[in-house]
Amino acid sequence: MPELRRDPLIGRWVIIATDRAKRPVDFVTSQEEPLPQGDCPFCEGKEGATPQEIMAVRGNGGANGSNGPGWSVRVVPSINPVLRIEGQLNRRAKGIYDVMDGIGAHEVIVETPRHIANAADLSTEQLHAAFQACIGRIADLEQDPRFRYALWFKNYGDIAGAGKIQHSRSQLIATPVTPLRVKEELVGARRYFDIKERCLVCDIVIQEQEAGTRIVLESEHAIALCPFASRFPFEVWILPKRHGCDFGRVHPAALADVARLFKQILSRLKAALDDPAYNALLHTAPFRAQRGKIGHWKTIEDDYHWHIELIPRLTRVAGFEWGTGFYINPTPPEEAAKYLREAAVE
Amino acid sequence: MSELRRDPISGRWNIIDTTQPVGPEGFEVEPPMQSAGKCPFCYGNEAMTPREIYAVRPQGGPPTGPGWNLRVVPNKFPALQIEGDLGRRGLGVFDLCNGVGAHEVIIETPEHDRQFADLSVPQVAEVIRAYIARSLDLRGDRRLRYTLLFKNYGLSAGATLEHAHSQLIALPIVPKRVQEELQGAGRYFDFRERCSYCDVLHQELQEDERVVCENRSFVAYCPYVSSFPFETWILPREHRGDFAKITPDTVTDFARILKETLGRLRTVLGNPPYNFVIHTAPIEPREREEYHWHVELIPKLTKIAGFEWGTGFYINPTPPELAAKHLREAAWVPAAV
pLDDT digits (tens, 9 = 90+) for B250-290: 999 999 999 999 999 999 998 899 999 999 999 998 888 89
* Cα A150 versus chain centre, distance: 11
* Cα B118 versus chain centre, distance: 17
Where helices occur in B270-337 by DSSP H, the ranges are 306-311, 320-329
Q: Per-residue pLDDT tens for A210-248?
A: 999 999 999 999 999 999 988 889 999 999 999 999 999
Check B163, B165, B279, B326 and give the catalytic one.
Answer: B165
Q: How many CB atoms lie within 10 A of CB A213?
A: 16
CB of B189 less than 8 A from some CB of A = no
CB of A209 less than 8 A from some CB of B = no
| Mean pLDDT (whole number) for A87-107 | 86
Per the prediction, chain B carries an average pLDDT of: 89
Picking from B33, B96, B209 by the largest number of A CB atoms within 10 A of its own CB, the best residue to mutate is: B96
In the predicted model, is pLDDT for residue B205 greater than 90? yes
In the predicted model, is pLDDT for residue A337 greater than 90? yes
Give the pLDDT band of residue B195 (cuts 50, 70, 90): very high
Chain A residues within an 8 Å CB radius of B304: 161, 317
Give the pLDDT band of residue A205 (cuts 50, 70, 90): very high
* Opening angle at CA A108, ends A105 and A110, nearest 5: 160
C-alpha pair distances (Å), A339 with each of A213, A225, A335? 11, 12, 6
Q: Is residue B277 part of a domain?
A: yes
| Mean pLDDT (whole number) for A284-302 | 78
Indicate if B165 belongs to the active site.
Answer: yes
Nearest Cα residue in chain A from B274:
A319
Strand bridging mode A13-16 / A327-329: parallel
Q: Is residue B125 part of a domain?
A: yes
Residue B131 lies in domain? 3-329
Q: Is residue B135 part of a domain?
A: yes
Q: With CB atoms and an 8 Å threshold, state whether A153 touches B310.
A: yes
Q: Per-residue pLDDT tens for A128-165?
A: 999 999 999 999 999 999 999 999 999 999 888 888 89
- How many structural domains compose chain B? 1
Q: Report the distance separating Cα B201 and Cα B233, nearest Å.
A: 10
Picking from B5, B33, B93, B161 by the largest number of A CB atoms within 10 A of its own CB, the best residue to mutate is: B93
Picking from A320, A327, A329 by the largest number of B CB atoms within 10 A of its own CB, the best residue to mutate is: A320
Q: Is residue B337 part of a domain?
A: no
Q: B275 — alpha (psi -120 to 50), left (phi > 0) or beta? A: beta
CB of A153 less than 8 A from some CB of B = yes
Q: Is residue B335 part of a domain?
A: no
CB contact set of A197 (below 8 Å; sequence gap of 6+): none
Q: B37 — alpha (psi -120 to 50), left (phi > 0) or beta? A: left
Identify the pLDDT of residue A29.
Answer: 46
Single-letter residue type at A251: H
B335 vs A33, which has greater pLDDT? Answer: A33
CA dihedral over B57, B62, B66, B70, signed as positive or negative: positive
Top-confidence range, A84-98, A316-330, B137-151:
B137-151
Q: With CB atoms and an 8 Å threshold, state whether B203 touches A95.
A: yes
Task: Select the residue of B13, B158, B177 nearest A318 (Cβ to Cβ).
Answer: B158
DSSP characters for A127-168? HHHHHHHHHHHHHHHHT-TT--EEEEEEEESGGGT-TT--S-
Q: Which of A62-71, A147-156, B232-241, B298-307 has the lowest mean pLDDT?
A: A62-71
Domains of chain A: 3-342 (3.30.428.10)
Q: Per-residue pLDDT tens for B83-142?
A: 888 888 888 888 888 888 999 999 999 999 999 999 999 999 999 999 999 999 999 999
Q: Answer whether A106's CB lies under 8 Å from A171's CB.
A: yes
Q: Per-residue pLDDT tens for B29-45?
A: 677 777 667 899 999 89
Single-letter residue type at A197: E
User: B146 by DSSP, 3-state: which?
Assistant: strand
The DSSP code for B48 is: G
Nearest Cα residue in chain B from A97:
B8
Q: Please state the pTM of the whole predicted model.
A: 0.88
Give the pLDDT band of residue B18 (cuts 50, 70, 90): low
User: B274 by DSSP, 3-state: which?
Assistant: strand
Task: Select the residue of A99, A173, A326 nearest B3 (Cβ to Cβ).
Answer: A99
Q: Which runs of E-coded beta strand occur in chain A?
A: 3-6, 13-16, 55-57, 73-77, 92-94, 97-101, 105-110, 149-156, 169-175, 215-218, 222-225, 236-240, 278-283, 307-312, 327-329
Top-confidence range, A67-71, A264-268, B193-197:
A264-268
CB of B292 less than 8 A from some CB of A = no
Identify the pLDDT of residue A18.
Answer: 52
Question: How far does chain B reach from its first CA to its final CA, in angstroms?
Answer: 45
Q: With CB atoms and an 8 Å threshold, state whether B4 touches A20.
A: no
B238 vs A184, which has greater pLDDT? Answer: B238
Per the prediction, chain A carries an average pLDDT of: 87
Identify the pLDDT of residue A160.
Answer: 87
Q: How far is A59 from chain B (nearest CA, A)?
A: 30
* Cα B129 versus chain centre, distance: 15
Q: With CB atoms and an 8 Å threshold, state whether A177 touches B95.
A: no
CB contact set of A47 (below 8 Å; sequence gap of 6+): A53, A67, A68, A69, A74
Identify the pLDDT of residue A48.
Answer: 92
CATH number, residue B250? 3.30.428.10
Q: Is residue B103 part of a domain?
A: yes
φ/ψ of residue B282, rounded to 5: -65, 165
In the predicted model, is pLDDT for residue A322 greater than 70? no
Nearest Cα residue in chain B from A227:
B94
Q: Which runs of E-coded beta strand occur in chain B?
A: 3-6, 13-16, 54-56, 70-74, 89-91, 94-98, 102-107, 146-153, 165-171, 211-214, 218-221, 232-236, 274-279, 294-299, 315-316
B20 vs B261, which has greater pLDDT? Answer: B261
Q: Is residue B334 part of a domain?
A: no
